[in-house]
Amino acid sequence: MFPESNKGLSYEDCKATADWLLTQTDMRPTVGIVCGSGLGGLADLLKDQVAFNYEDIPNFPQSTVHGHAGRLVFGTMKGKPCVCMQGRFHLYEGYPIQKRFVVWFYSQITLPMRVFKLLGVQTVVITNAAGGLNQDFKVGDIMIIKDHINLPGFAGNNPLVGPNDERFGVRFPCMSDAYDRDLQQLAMEVGQELGYGDFLKEGVYCVLGGPSFETIAECRMLHLLGVDAVGMSTVHEVIVARHCGMRVFALSLITNLAVTDYDSEEKANHEDVLQAGNQRAEQMEQLVSSVVNRIEPNNNYI
**Number of helices followed by number of strands (H, E) in the chain:** 6, 9
Catalytic residue among 27, 54, 77, 90: 90
Catalytic residue among 107, 233, 289, 290: 233
66 is catalytic: no
256 is catalytic: yes
221 is catalytic: no
Catalytic residue among 27, 63, 68, 179: 68
Catalytic residue among 63, 77, 85, 93: 93
Catalytic residue among 128, 157, 252, 256: 256
Rounded CA separation 227/43 (Å): 29
77 is catalytic: no
129 is catalytic: yes
Locate all alpha helices (DSSP H) within 25-171, ordered by sequence.
102-119
148 is catalytic: no
270 is catalytic: yes
Catalytic residue among 218, 270, 281, 299: 270
Beta-ladder partners of 142: 200, 253
Beta-ladder partners of 201: 143
Catalytic residue among 92, 188, 281, 299: 92
53 is catalytic: no
Beta-ladder partners of 72: 52, 85
CB-based contact 35:77 (threshold 8 Å)? no
Rounded CA separation 108/49 (Å): 25
Catalytic residue among 178, 187, 229, 232: 232
158 is catalytic: no
Catalytic residue among 77, 129, 143, 229: 129
Catalytic residue among 27, 37, 134, 258: 37
Task: Please name the helix (run of DSSP H) or strand (run of DSSP E) that holds residue 235, with its range, or none.
Answer: helix 235-243
Residues with Cβ within 8 Å of 138's Cβ and at least 6 positions away in sequence, in order, are: 132, 199, 254, 257
143 is catalytic: no
Positions marked catalytic: 37, 68, 90, 92-93, 129, 232-233, 256, 270
